[in-house]
Structure 1
Amino acid sequence: MIKWALIFAVIAIVAGILGFGGIAGAAAGIAKFLAILALIVFLIFLVLGFTVAKKIVD
């Protein structure tokens, strides 16, 4: 998911440099959404990892 966020961020930067404002904005929005989604999934798995590890150790 982070890979796709980085790809869309690069597309947004290149499109912005070339003057394609609409495409750059759309690609930046998608990259932002994917990065936030990846962060949320990471945090969920982090919390689950700590809770499951605590139950296994006890």
Structure 2
Amino acid sequence: MIVLGVILLIIGFVANIAILWTIGIILVAIGAIFFLLGSLGHAVGGRRHYW
């Protein structure tokens, strides 16, 4: 999810499309939260580890 967010950020920045930029920021934030929760040992989405 983090990688997809970064790709959308890059495409949104290069093509100057604001909606892709916004969606990319949201995906990076959600991916980072899931990564942190998974690394702390909390189950995320029914999985013990999220990466």
CA distance in 2, matches of 1:11, 1:34: 14
1:20 corresponds in structure 2 to none
Equivalent residue for 2:21, pick from 23, 28, 38: 28
Structure with the larger helix share: 1
Question: Which structure is higher in RCO with an 8 Å CA cutoff and minimum separation 6?
Answer: 1
Equivalence for 2:9: 9
TM-score, normalization by structure 2: 0.70
Structure 1 residue 31, shift from structure 2 partner = 0.4
Amino acid of the structure 2 residue aligned with 1:10: I
- One-letter identity of the residue aligned with 1:14: V
Alpha-carbon distance in structure 2 between the residues aligned to 1:33 and 1:42: 14
Alignment size in residue pairs? 42
Q: Which runs of 4+ in 1 moved over 2 A?
A: none
Alignment partner of 1:43 is 2:36: yes
Unaligned runs of 5+ in 1: 17-23, 50-58
- Counterpart position of 1:54: none
